[in-house]
Structure formats: C-alpha cells, structure tokens
C-alpha cells in the first residue's frame, strides 16, 4: 500500500493511493497513519480492504507528512562514501547519528522557509525508514520485521548552522520545514529491496543528485538493528539514511538555495516531492 495523510496543516486525514494514483479516504477504518496503525499486523489487515469502495478525495488536495506521531527523527550522516568525499570527511567506521527536531517535519510539497540569518541552505534527498513496532536490541536479520515502510525525506540543511557554529549538527538540520516526508509511506511489500532504489534531486530543473541506495555504507536493516542497541525505536519513528553526492556543499564553489528556488526530488517506488524555498518572515 501507499499510505498518505491529506488535508490542511494540522487537520490531516488518513488515506491511500489507488491503482490510478488517486487518493482514497481511510477515515472510516483508522484514525491516522500513526501508532498502532503502523504495526505490520494492522497494515496486513488494512491491505485486505476493497480499495475501490473507499471514498475518493478531491484532486489537488494537499498532502501532509505521510506519518504522524513521530517521537524521534533520527538521521544518519556520511552514509554514502562519495558524499563523504565531497564533504571532505572520512567514511565513518560506525553510523554517524544525529537528530532532527520533529518540528521540522512538513508535507512533501509545502513551501520551505529559509531561516533568518541563513546563507547556506542546502538540499539532500534521502531514503527514510518508518518504524512499525517497538524495536529494542533487535538483530540485523530480524530488523526489517519492525519496519512499517519507507518514504522520501528531504533532509534540508543549513551548513553554516551545522558546521560553523559551535556544537553538534542538530541546529543546522532542525529549522522549521527542514524535514519534508512523503508523498506516501510505501509499506514493506511495495519495496522488496530497499538497497536497490534510484534517487534523484533537481534544483530549478537541473539534476544535481542522481544516485542509488545501492551505494549506502550501512543498509536499512543494519541501521535499524544498530540504533536499537542504543535506544528503543517506536511506531512512527523516522530514520533518514543519508544522501548520495551532489549536495550544494560539495560544489566548488559551493551552491546554496535562495528564495524562489524550486527543488524537486524523488526515489524509485516512493514518489516525488516539490518545494519552493521562501523567506522565513
């Protein structure tokens, strides 16, 4: 299934995408795409519904973040060796873990505010893992059993805040709107191999990232297992798994986003996003 949340900000309803690419309403069956709904057993029950009997949603309706109730937004840095090289950093021996504030979460096509004082706002297309049931001390072999599905994440980053200000990366990653997710949450059956997905990103129509999850240093199963050794993972938690090369920081000279720029990005099977960057007034 391709699960979505649609409607005005803060008032999103659950839905899914049918075979014709239309939104169908799920409100009569689940309260939201969150919590217990994400358990693999609950998703299996949802998949038995007659999709054609579900009410259609009007074309052009806004898509919100594809999952709600996220307690942790965990990010993995330098998880593509070629991206580490363009950033002038070594490939780490273990995953580089940092957090993005959940207040950064946004819909896939919402405008993204460029924060006050920013002159180095950058782009990163990433595969996100969404947890479906509580995971603690799980093995790599069993790790994907705890996953509800996958989605596109735009890990928007302010490099000055991230790298030039004192402390950790979080403040360069957590500005409002810096975490668009969606358009949909693709359940695990839609993605038989998360390590074989093409991914791309364009700025103002120019392709700047063109990669694949094949070149991730640490794969999805490893990351779920690894993180579960240090923290319990709960339904709705997001793990954003890193970006391929082609980010603005890696250009010589670097290239960064300005108000009016349009970024489009997508991952095979998981759909695409489109955002206009605007001043944060």
Q: How far apart (Å, rounded) are the C-alpha atoms in residues 140 and 143?
A: 5
- pLDDT grade for 131, boundaries at 50, 70 and 90: very high
Let me know if 107 is exposed, middle or buried by CB neighbors in 10 A (0-12, 13-18, 19+). buried
Q: How far apart (Å, rounded) are the C-alpha atoms in residues 166 and 128?
A: 28
Q: Please tell me the predicted confidence (pLDDT) of residue 167.
A: 83
CB-based burial, 40-61: b 16+ in 10 Å, e otherwise: bebbeebeeeeeeebeebeeee
Count CB neighbours of 116 within 10 A.
Answer: 9
- The percentage of the chain sitting over the pLDDT mark of 70, rounded to a whole number, equals 100
Task: Encode pLDDT of 80-127 as tens digits.
Answer: 987 777 777 788 899 999 999 999 999 999 999 999 999 999 999 999
Q: Is 108 helix (H, G, I), strand (E, B) or coil?
A: coil
Q: Please tell me the predicted confidence (pLDDT) of residue 262.
A: 98
What are residue 24's DSSP bridge partners? 16, 56
Distance set, CA 265 to CA 52, 130, 238, 245, 274 (Å): 30, 19, 18, 14, 7
What are residue 203's DSSP bridge partners? 206, 263
Are 243 and 124 in contact, with CB atoms under 8 Å apart? yes
Q: Please tell me the predicted confidence (pLDDT) of residue 88.
A: 77
- pLDDT exceeds cutoff 90 at 140: yes
Non-local CB neighbours of 189 within 8 Å, separated by 6+ positions: 1, 47
- pLDDT grade for 26, boundaries at 50, 70 and 90: very high
**Cα torsion through 190, 100, 140, 233, rounded to 10:** -90
Q: How far apart (Å, rounded) are the C-alpha atoms in residues 186 and 130?
A: 10
| Mean pLDDT taken over the chain | 96
Are 235 and 140 in contact, with CB atoms under 8 Å apart? no
Beta strands 206-212; 198-203: pairing state = antiparallel
Q: Please tell me the predicted confidence (pLDDT) of residue 193.
A: 97
The pTM is what? 0.96
Q: Please tell me the predicted confidence (pLDDT) of residue 85.
A: 76
Beta strands 96-99; 125-131: pairing state = unpaired
């Amino acid at each position: 299934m391709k699960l979505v949340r649609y409607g005005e900000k803060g008032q999103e309803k659950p839905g899914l995408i049918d075979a014709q690419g239309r939104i169908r309403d799920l409100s009569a069956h689940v309260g939201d795409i969150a919590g217990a709904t994400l358990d693999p057993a609950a998703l299996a029950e949802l998949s038995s519904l007659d999709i054609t009997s579900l009410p259609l949603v009007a074309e052009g309706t806004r898509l919100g973040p594809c999952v709600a109730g996220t307690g942790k937004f965990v990010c993995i840095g330098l998880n593509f060796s070629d991206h580490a090289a363009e950033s002038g950093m070594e490939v780490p021996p273990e995953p580089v873990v940092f957090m993005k504030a959940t207040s950064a979460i946004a819909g896939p096509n919402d405008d993204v505010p460029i924060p006050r004082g920013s002159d180095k706002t950058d782009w990163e297309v990433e595969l996100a893992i969404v947890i479906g049931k509580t995971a603690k001390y799980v093995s790599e072999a069993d790790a994907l059993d705890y996953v509800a599905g996958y989605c596109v994440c735009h890990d928007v980053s302010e490099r000055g805040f991230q790298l030039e200000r004192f402390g950790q990366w979080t403040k360069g990653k957590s500005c409002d709107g810096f975490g668009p997710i969606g358009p949909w949450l693709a359940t695990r059956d839609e993605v038989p191999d998360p390590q074989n997905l093409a991914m791309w990103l364009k700025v103002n129509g120019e392709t700047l990232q063109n990669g694949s999850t094949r070149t991730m240093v640490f794969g999805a199963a490893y990351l779920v297992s690894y993180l579960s050794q240090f923290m319990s993972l709960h339904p709705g938690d997001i793990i954003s798994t890193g970006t391929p090369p082609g980010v603005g920081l890696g250009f010589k000279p670097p290239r960064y986003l300005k108000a009016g720029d349009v970024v489009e990005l997508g991952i095979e099977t998981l759909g695409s996003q489109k955002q206009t960057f605007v001043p944060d007034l």
